[in-house]
A and B are shown apart, each in its own frame.
Chain A
Amino acid sequence: MTLAATAAGHGFLSPSGVEIAFVLVGIATLGAAVLTVTTRQLVHAALWLVVALGGVAVAYLLLTAEFIAWVQVLIYVGSVVVLLLFGLMLTKAPIGRSPDADSGNRWAALVVALASAAALVWVVVDAFRATWINLDGAAQGSTEASGRSLFQYWVLPFEALSVLLLAALVGAIVLSRKSGEGEAAAASLTNGAARAPAAPAPREEQR
C-alpha cells in the first residue's frame, strides 16, 4: 500500500509549515479574486486584482519559483493593472458604485462557475490525492536555473515572443490612434455607428 505508506509520512491532518502558509495565502488570494469579480466599484475591482495577483506571486514563492514570482510582480502588478486602471479611466468609468456592473445572467454564470468548480475540484483531488511536491533541495525556479533553461532550450520561442510583442505594440498603436486615414476608413465602413472621435455618442448614459 504505497498510499498508506506515503500518507504516514505526509497527511492532510499534519500539514507542514509551507502548506499552512500556502493555504492562508490561497484563502487571501481567492477572497481577493471573488471581490474582484463581485464588487460594484470598478476601480476597487482593479485594486482587489492587485491583491489577487500578489497572492499568486507569493504562492509562486512558496513553490520555490522565485523568478516567476518577481516577473509576476513586475508585469502583472506593475504594468497590467496600471493598464487596466488607464482603461477604466479612459472609458470614464464611474468612481462610486455602479449598479449595472453585473449582467442580467449573473445567476446562470454563478451556476456554471459553481458546477465547473465542483467538477474540477472533485477530479483534481481525486487524481492528486497521494501526490506530494518535494520542496527540499535546490530551488527549482531560481533565476539561474530559469535563465539557463530559457536561453539553452527555449531560445527560439523566446525570440518569436519578442516579435509577437512587437506586433502587439504596433497593433495597439494602430488601433488606438486618434485620427488619420484609418479612422476615416473605419467611419466609412461602419454605417453611421462611428462618430467624430471627440464627440461621445449621445447614447452614453449619464454618470
Chain B
Amino acid sequence: MHLAYPAVLAVLLFCTGLYGVLARRNAILVLMSVELMLNAVNLNLVAFDVWLRDTLHAGQALTLFTIAIAAAEIGIGLAIVLLVYRNRGSSDIDRLRDLAEKPGAADGEPQPDTTAEAAA
C-alpha cells in the first residue's frame, strides 16, 4: 500500500480535530476533537511502524501507550468539565473568562490583584 494514503488520512483527521478544538464552544465537544487529533497521531504511528518493519515495534507500543494516556486524559478532562459545570452551571468555554485581561484595566486603575502584572 502506498504510504501516502494513511499519512494523508492522518493529516486530514488531525486538521478536522484542529478545527473542532478551535471552533467548538462546549468543552466536551472540544474533548471529542482532541480525541480525533490523538487518533490521527496513532494512525501515523501505526503506518510508519508497518512501513519500517521495526523489530522493536516501537510505533505499535507507542500507539498502545497513547491510547491508554488518552483514556486517562479523557477521565481527568471530564472530571474537570463536570467540576466547572457544577461551579458555574455551564460548560461553555467561551464564558470562562476569569483569567482574561479586562480591556479597561490595562491602562486605567489596575485591579488589586493585577498590580504586579501591571507594574511588570
Interface set of A (CB-CB < 8 Å, partner B): 10, 12, 15-16, 18-19, 22-23, 26, 29-30, 33-34, 36-37, 42, 45-46, 49, 52-53, 56, 59-60, 62-65, 67-68, 71-72, 75-76, 79-80, 83-84, 86-88, 90-91, 93, 100-106, 108-110, 112-114, 116-117, 120-121, 124-125, 128-129, 131-135, 140-141, 145-146, 149-150, 153-154, 157-158, 161, 164-165, 167-169, 171-172, 175-176, 186, 190, 193-195, 197, 200-205
Contact = CB atoms under 8 A, between A and B. Distances in A.
Contacts of A133: 1-3, 6, 47, 50-51
B1 A19 contact: yes
A63 B51 CA distance: 9
B7 A124 contact: yes
Given A52-B36, A65-B50, 9 more contacts: A33-B16, A36-B36, A56-B42, A63-B46, A90-B82, A91-B28, A103-B25, A109-B18, A153-B56
A15 B88 CA distance: 54
Q: Is the interface of A mostly helix, strand, loop or mixed?
A: helix
A37 B57 contact: no
B36 A37 contact: yes
B9 A29 contact: yes
A131 B51 contact: yes
Interface residues of B toward A: which range? 35 or more
B2 A132 contact: yes
Contacts of B55: 149
A22 B57 contact: no
Interface in B35-51: 35-36, 39, 42-43, 46-47, 49-51
B32 A46 contact: yes
B71 A124 contact: no
B22 A161 contact: no
B69 interface: yes
Given A23-B5, A53-B35, A63-B6, A103 B82 contact: no
B106 interface: no
B105 interface: no
A22 B1 contact: yes
A132 to B, nearest CB: 6
A23 B8 CA distance: 10
B76 A71 contact: no
A121 to B, nearest CB: 5
A175 B69 CA distance: 18
Contacts of A202: 89
The 10 closest A-B pairs by CB, nearest first: A201-B89, A37-B20, A109-B22, A168-B72, A113-B19, A204-B89, A149-B57, A117-B15, A109-B23, A175-B79
Interface string B53-93: 10111001101110111111111101111110111111110
Contact of B19 (A72, A110, A149, A161): A110
B12 interface: yes
